Amino acid sequence: MAKKQPSDLFDLSLAPSKGYTAKDIEVLEGLEPVRRRPGMYIGGTDVAALHHLAAEIIDNAMDEAVAGHASFIEIELTGDDTLAVRDNGRGIPVDPHPKFKNKSALEVIMTTLHAGGKFGGSAYKTSGGLHGVGSSVVNALSEWMDIEVARDKRCWMMRFERGKSAGKLKEMGTASWRGTKVTFKPDQQIFGKEAHFSPARLYRMAKSKAYLFRGVEIRWSCEEDLIKDDTPAEDKLVFPGGLTDYLASEVGGTATVTTRTFFGRTENDNGAVEWALTWAPAVDPFLLSFCNTIPTPQGGTHEQGLRNAVTRALRAHGERTNNRKTSLITPDDVMASACAMLSVFIREPEFQGQTKDKLSSPEAQKLVEGILRDHFEHWLAESPLEADKLFDFVVDRAEERLKRRQEKEVSRKAATRKLRLPGKLADCTRDEAEGTELFLVEGDSAGGSAKQARDRNTQAILPLRGKILNVASASSGKLQQNQELSDLMQALGCGAGSKYREEDLRYERIIVMTDADVDGAHIASLLLTFFYREMPALIEGGHLFLAMPPLYRLNHGGTTIYARDDADKEKLLKSAFKSNAKVEVSRFKGLGEMMPAQLKETTMKRGTRTLVKVELAESERERTETMVEKLMGKKPELRFQFIQENAAFATDVDV
């Protein structure tokens, strides 16, 4: 391949499908694109991204330790946001690179994209915290970076500035140590002046590395005056107990479902797995997972393996003990209540997702599932009593989950009920039925007054147009088709006939509010017939009322009072006014004629209104049925007979 000039280097991330092989990309890519679009490589340019740089460098040293070549890692934070990381490994190769005769391997690694790991030999490559983009990205985003390599008793040094070599690789003489030391300062041109390394965050990162790989000692040091919390200025981090130590520090002394923690570590040809699990009801559940010591907060295949293994082993236990509830258990029931750590080591892991923090290597699932299922079955079998305790605890979680789902379904149903309300219903704002009222009003004009007169929070208005269907003389099919009644049933929400459900009734009181005239009385009796026939339980439950709007307004001087009927009018005329007063008497032709304020005061407002509760007297059951049938039923001759018998009692009404 012809040697490319810098001008030929272009951002392959913008043209990914040009048919270049991975090898071409490695050789072609310079670091310009990284500085041009840092976010593409480190997921942003904020403080989190700044710490990604540190993670990447530490992970490179971790690689060397995990591969068994280094036993300690030194991390030192000094003022001016300068971070130094040193390991006692083999040292980055400094021999001339086979493809670039005048460049050392070190220089190629640090100045080209995707060049990391090309030198083989590492058993478990972390691919770095940036998951493959490598140390050159950190170099590109550093104001400067110094690399010291001690190999074969000799020491080399090379300096880079903003990703470019600033001088040749220099041999510095004999070395009394072995390994690699990288010191760098993130570029303020990229991260701004305000972004600084956080000692607490770096310390936490260092500590988790020590927990995750018990074969390494992490030596932490930080300039004293950078520390603003209880982070130690110096610490030696070694955890021979590994993940179990970490779990213990999280769960502390709180009660756990089982006395033993389920933990272990196993290695085979495909990789290594380390895990620690406990169920501690008082602690917020968590699952921290890692691949090659890199956190995988988005989970992935290794977590899937763990979930499957633990669930299947627990189900197997349930089946062995003939527990009927075994089938209820899902992986969520087992894991969403657990405090767990999972760490895997595999060769060439693959990460996916925007931030590359989800493991996607399929072999990780197989590895974890195979090892963990076996171990967990053994662990359960070791103590059947504890296994039962854990099983019961998980079944409780499953039952809680089912109950929650049921409740959610009910509330969803309630929500859809609300969505399917009739258009002309002016509903109240209160959600629950308690304390609410539905006024059934005759006609749109009365409906309009009622809407203005109501208390929006608790009173709903449903205007009904004209005479509603007489249910006593109509077939049930007609009932379904009738718009007014179907609107009414929708507004009530409680169903009718055998499907009536009191708990679904959307209002506490249903108030029939019709004009105080013959037509009004007719509509009221049609409505009462409907309720009596279709939902007698609603009447029995004490939910049905009749409003008592006034028929007359009596006015004299500044005094206005209302009379419910003729008798009331006569009584009030005598008692409320002086005997010779010229009282102005007006008769309402309908509710629509009343001012909303009057309607409110006289008929709708709690405290000043009068309501009549409709009741079904148990002793009068038979008589009620006969009367309804007689007056409202299909046979006009019964109605005629009633009129004949009662005509003598009728008095003329003032029209």
Q: Could you tell me the CA-to-CA distances from 203 to 221, 287, 467 in Å, in that order?
A: 9, 21, 80
- Smaller CB distance to ligand TSJ: residue 98 or 240? 98
Catalytic site residue from 46, 504, 517, 568 = 517
Is the distance from CB of 162 to CB of 140 less than 8 angstroms? yes
Give the shortest CB-96-to-ligand TSJ separation in angstroms: 14
Give the shortest CB-121-to-ligand TSJ separation in angstroms: 3
Assess whether 81 carries a catalytic annotation. no
Give the shortest CB-89-to-ligand TSJ separation in angstroms: 4
- Smaller CB distance to ligand TSJ: residue 92 or 524? 92
Give the shortest CB-170-to-ligand TSJ separation in angstroms: 17
Closest to 148 in 3D by CA, of 104, 182, 120: 182
Closest to 135 in 3D by CA, of 153, 157, 118: 118
Closest to 654 in 3D by CA, of 587, 597, 555, 554: 587
The letter for the amino acid at 335 is: M
- Smaller CB distance to ligand TSJ: residue 58 or 450? 58
- 3-state helix/strand/coil string of 537-565: HHHHCCCEEEECCCCEEEEECCEEEEECC
Give the shortest CB-122-to-ligand TSJ separation in angstroms: 5
Binding residues for ligand TSJ (CB under 6 A): 57, 60-61, 64, 85, 87, 89-90, 92-93, 119-122, 135, 180, 182
Residue with tokens 């701004």: 192
Q: What ranges in 112-149 are assigned the alpha helix state H?
A: 135-140
Catalytic site residue from 396, 504, 519, 568 = 519
- Terminal Cα-to-Cα distance of the chain (whole angstroms): 110
Assess whether 442 carries a catalytic annotation. yes
- Smaller CB distance to ligand TSJ: residue 53 or 547? 53
- Smaller CB distance to ligand TSJ: residue 60 or 337? 60
Residue with tokens 């008929």: 603
Catalytic site residue from 363, 442, 487, 534 = 442
Closest to 395 in 3D by CA, of 324, 329, 336: 329
Is the distance from CB of 85 to CB of 74 less than 8 angstroms? yes
- 3-state helix/strand/coil string of 52-103: HHHHHHHHHHHHHHHCCCCCEEEEEEECCCEEEEEECCCCCCCCECCCCCCC
Beta bridge partners of 236: 219
- Smaller CB distance to ligand TSJ: residue 91 or 264? 91
Give the shortest CB-332-to-ligand TSJ separation in angstroms: 39
Assess whether 152 carries a catalytic annotation. no
The residues that are catalytic are 442, 515, 517, 519
